[in-house]
Amino acid sequence: MVHEEKGQSLTEFALIVPLLLLLLCGVIDFGRILFTYLNLNLVAQESVRLGGLGRGDADIVSFARGQAEVPDSTKLQVAIAPPEASRKSGQYVKVTLTYTLPYMTPLLGSVLPAPVIRTDSTIRVE
C-alpha cells in the first residue's frame, strides 16, 4: 500500500517553528540584558570618577542618565553614597546604578519577572 505523506513535513515544521522563534527571541533578550549590564557597568565607573574629582550629585546623576544606553533613562536609579554634603577628601564615594529592563519576548515576560540590572563602582575622593 502506498501512503500519501505530502503534509507531513508541513505539520512538523508548524510544530517546531514556535519553539525555534521562542528560542531565538530568548537569545536576543539575553544579549540585550548582557549588553545593558556591561554598558551600566562602564557608566557607573565613569560616573563615580566624577564624584572622585569633587563633582556634585546632580552632575553625577545627569552624566549617568545621559550616558546609559537604556530604553528609558528616566527610570535609571542612581544612588550615591555618601551624599555630596558629607563627602571629604580621602573618603570613598560609591555610585550604584539600577535599571529594570523589560523583555522583548511576550511569553517570556509573562512567565519570568523582568530582570533588575544593578552595578556599582567605588573610588576615593581626591
Q: Is 6 exposed, middle or buried (0-12, 13-18, 19+ CB in 10 A)?
A: exposed
Instruction: Give residue for cell 514556535.
Output: 18
Contact 99, 121 (CB under 8 A): no
The pLDDT, as a whole number, for residue 10 is: 87
The pLDDT, as a whole number, for residue 1 is: 61
The pLDDT, as a whole number, for residue 2 is: 63
Q: What is the pTM of this model?
A: 0.86
**Average confidence (pLDDT) per 10 residues, the chain, 126 residues:** 74 92 91 97 97 94 96 95 92 97 85 94 95
The H or E element containing residue 83 is: none
The pLDDT, as a whole number, for residue 82 is: 94
